[in-house]
Amino acid sequence: MSAVPSKVEAGRKRLYAAAVAGLMPAFAAASDFAGALALAACFAAGFAFASASSKLLPKKFSGGDSFAFGLLAASLGVAFALSTFRLLAPLRFELLYARAVIIPFTVPVLEAAWRPEATRGSESPWGASVRAFVLSLAIVIAGAGRELLANGAALPFMATPSAAFLLVGVGFAAWAAIAKRLGKEAS
């Protein structure tokens, strides 16, 4: 096996990096673990509904029509998740519903709604589910990390929405450093 990553692997890594960067509104809204978990569930529902709608549409739909249908499906998915939260945890719902409005407008959900031809043939339903899980996990990790850092006396500013940008920037820098170190050790 070659030590040099293939173009497909490099493209996949860039795709996840762009998708994580596109989740910045959700990262800013997720300031604690419970809120992040709820927003991740809303994201997973919205992404799944948008991705599934793009696969179910006939090929004769134009780009604008499929985008509108995909965005409507994503909004319905988020509404479904919010309805579930309203039944299970009414107080969490009151804290969540104003923040969950942004979920259909995050880049991964918009991409699934906007380019159905990209997801229709290239990504299986299982692949879309894995992608939704990984991106939802990123939301949970960001929210948990912000709560963990904000509860300590050293970094109380981590509770602010702008701290999400700092956390993601540090995360990307750490990821790049680890990848660079692993690349040097492999050669």
Q: What's this model's pTM, rounded to 2 decimal places?
A: 0.77
- Looking at residue 55, what is its pLDDT? 74
Residues 6 or more apart whose CB falls under 8 angstroms from that of 140 comprise: 30, 33, 36, 37, 40
**Torsion over CA: 142, 98, 75, 106 (sign):** negative
* Nearest Cα residue to 42 out of 145, 165, 117, 140: 140
* Nearest Cα residue to 18 out of 117, 116, 125, 131: 131
Domain count, the chain: 1
Query: Does residue 1 sit within a domain?
Result: no
> Per residue of the chain (187 residues), what is the pLDDT tens digit?
445 556 555 555 566 677 777 888 888 888 888 888 889 999 999 988 888 887 777 777 766 777 888 888 889 999 999 899 889 888 878 888 888 888 888 888 888 777 655 544 556 667 777 888 888 998 888 888 888 888 866 677 777 888 888 888 888 888 888 888 887 665 5
- Looking at residue 120, what is its pLDDT? 46
Query: Does residue 114 sit within a domain?
Result: yes
Two tokens at 13?
């890594």
- Looking at residue 80, what is its pLDDT? 92
Give the range of the structural domain holding residue 49, as residue numbers without chain letter: 7-186
Phi then psi dihedrals of residue 174, to 5 deg: -65, -40
The type of residue at 182 is: L
Query: Does residue 182 sit within a domain?
Result: yes
- Looking at residue 126, what is its pLDDT? 72
Phi then psi dihedrals of residue 32, to 5 deg: -145, 170
Any idea of the CA torsion for 81, 87, 91, 93, to the nearest 10 degrees? 20
